[in-house]
Every structure is written in structure tokens, then in C-alpha cells.
Amino acid sequence: MEIFDFLGEDIITEQKIEKNKQLKSEKQQIKNELHKQKVVQKKKEKKKKIKQQKYEVIQTLETQEQKNDFVHQFKGLRNQRRENGIKSLQSPFKIIIDCGFEENMSDKEQRSLARQISELYQENRKLDIPLKLYVTNIYPILHKYLEQYHYKQWQLISDERLFIDIEEFKQANIVYLSPDGEEELQEIKEDEVYVIGGLVDRVIMKNATLNRSRQLGVRSAKLPIGQFIKKNYKKCLNVSTAALMISGWLQYKDWSKAFDSIVPQKFKEQEAEMQ
Ligand SMILES: C[S@@+](CC[C@H](N)C(=O)[O-])C[C@H]1O[C@@H](n2cnc3c(N)ncnc32)[C@H](O)[C@@H]1O
């Protein structure tokens, strides 16, 4: 009798665990769906806002000729972004976002990574010297989040493989950018390929990319930004900002100017607050 009671309790506990698991997964599905709706809604609102702004500007113009010119310029800007996207694929400056950090990120951080990659893609299309972007090691959950931004339609190269397994990079001169890098990056060279860790870590993981570069047997380097950031403050930029620092250097050939133009004011203010 007692054995049956014991077994019965085991079965009930197992059922409870199973039910909890199911509930958790349903909750996650609802959360994902809500997030998806939010992204779509935001996109719609942005489109509406642009349309409204366009309309308002047209209202201020007096002649039909001025209105036509404006519409023409507006279309031109859109086409220019598209053209820049195509131009980026021919750029000699190659940047890889290595997304091999799934285990180190929460679901929220993975979503944030997808958003940052999308931001980087959009910003890159506005640049005079666009970078050729590669997003590698894309795993299923990240693919799902990137899909919300329709990344398969983007003008960049996405791949599920680790970058060192891609033929193009087997003989390449790779520099893994890491805030804990062994050397300081002096300049950006056409014959080097720069890798950014596709990692969003709210609590900074020390040496995450340094260790990865060592495991992969590639050089590591830090951006020389320590001198622009006050002592004791983190020298760690997010994925899109770190990549854009490269475009900043290409523009100014000067790290200080690149830092001033690329690093968001918000980040600099936080720095001050931390002192
Ligand atoms: C949010 S950071 C991740 C920091 C992580 N703890 C690590 O060890 O790399 C995202 C990526 O941006 C690049 N990055 C950020 N700050 C950098 C710096 N000061 N120097 C070089 N790369 C940097 C690195 O590639 C880094 O992996």
C-alpha cells in the first residue's frame, strides 16, 4: 500500500512538472507573439509618421514645381539607400558579426541582438563608405528574431556556419574585436577582416570574446577608446556601435573623431553618471 502511495506521489510530481513546462512554453509563445505584433506595429507607425512628415513638408511648399522637386528628392534618398546597400556588397571593408554566443544570452538579450543587427544594417546603408556585412553562426532562435526584420531581403551575407568554416575566410587576416583584446587596433586595413562578437551581455562577461578568439586561433584587438572614456568605466560598446566605429575611422582616419561621431550621447552621459 505504502509503495503504491509513494509511486502515486511520483506520478503526480511528474505530471506537475510536465504541466509547468507546458505552461512556461505557452507563456513564452504568447510573449513572442506579442513582441512580433509590437515590431509590426512600430514599423507601421514609423511608416505613417514618415508619410505624415512628407505631407506636412509638401504643404509648406508653394509651387507645384517645388512640390515635384521634393517628391523627387525623397524618392532619390530611398533609392540611394538601396543603392548603398548594393554598394556595400562590393566594399573591401568586411565586418563579421559572429553570433556564436547563444548559450550566454537570455531570450531578451537575443532579441536585443537581432534589433542591434537590424540597426547596424540600416545605418550602414546611409554611409558614404558602407561596410560589407556578414552575420554568421545564425542559430534557429536568432533566425526567428531576425525574420521579424525580414533579414533575408537585406543586402548582407547571412550564414549558419562559423566564420572560420567559410571558404572566403580560411586564408583571411582575421582580427577579432574584443574589449579585452591583446593589442590596440591602430587602423582599419583593407586586407583585414574584423569580427564583432554577436553578444549582448547586460552584465558584462569578462574575456568572452578574448577567449573565443583564442579558441579559434585568431588575433584579438581592442578599439583604442580607453583614452576617451573616464577611468573605471566600462570600455564596452554594443554590437552596432562597435561595428560603426570602423566606419567612423574610415571617414575621419582618427579614433577620437570616430568616437565623438559614433558613440551615442546617452552612453557618454552614463559614463559621467558612473563617476
Ligand atoms: C556588448 S560587446 C560584448 C562584450 C563581451 N563581454 C566581450 O567579451 O566581447 C559586443 C561586441 O562589441 C565589440 N566591442 C565592444 N567594445 C569593444 C572595444 N572596446 N574594443 C573592441 N571591441 C569591442 C566586441 O566585438 C564585443 O564582442
- Asked whether residue 59 is domain-assigned, the answer is no
Q: Distance from the CA of 148 to the center of ligand 1, in angstroms?
A: 25
Q: Is the CB of 236 under 6 A from ligand 1?
A: yes
- Asked whether residue 82 is domain-assigned, the answer is no
Report pTM: 0.76
- Asked whether residue 78 is domain-assigned, the answer is no
Find the domain containing 129 and state its range: 91-274
- Asked whether residue 129 is domain-assigned, the answer is yes
Mutate to test the pocket of ligand 1, among 99, 178, 201, 225 (most ligand atoms within 8 A of CB): 178
- Asked whether residue 3 is domain-assigned, the answer is no
Q: Distance from the CA of 199 to the center of ligand 1, in angstroms?
A: 8
Please provide the average confidence, as pLDDT, over all residues in the chain.
88
pLDDT per position as a tens digit, 94-130: 999 999 999 999 999 999 999 999 999 999 999 988 9
pLDDT per position as a tens digit, 157-174: 999 999 999 999 999 999
The CATH number of whichever domain residue 261 belongs to comes to: 3.40.1280.30
Q: Is the CB of 214 under 6 A from ligand 1?
A: no
Q: How many domains does the chain have?
A: 1
Q: What percent of the chain has pLDDT over 70?
A: 93
CA-derived radius of gyration, the chain: 23
CA 28, CA 256: separation in Å to the nearest integer? 43
Q: Is the CB of 124 under 6 A from ligand 1?
A: no
pLDDT per position as a tens digit, 178-218: 999 999 999 999 999 999 999 999 899 999 999 999 999 99
Q: What is the pLDDT, as a whole number, of residue 210?
A: 97
The CA-atom distances, in angstroms, between 98 and each of 62, 114, 257 are 51, 12, 27
CA 156, CA 88: separation in Å to the nearest integer? 8
**Higher pLDDT pick, 74 / 3:** 74
- Asked whether residue 186 is domain-assigned, the answer is yes
Q: What is the dihedral angle through the alpha carbons of 99, 105, 107, 109, rounded to the nearest 10 degrees?
A: -80
- Asked whether residue 28 is domain-assigned, the answer is no
For range 63-87, the mean pLDDT:
77
- Asked whether residue 22 is domain-assigned, the answer is no
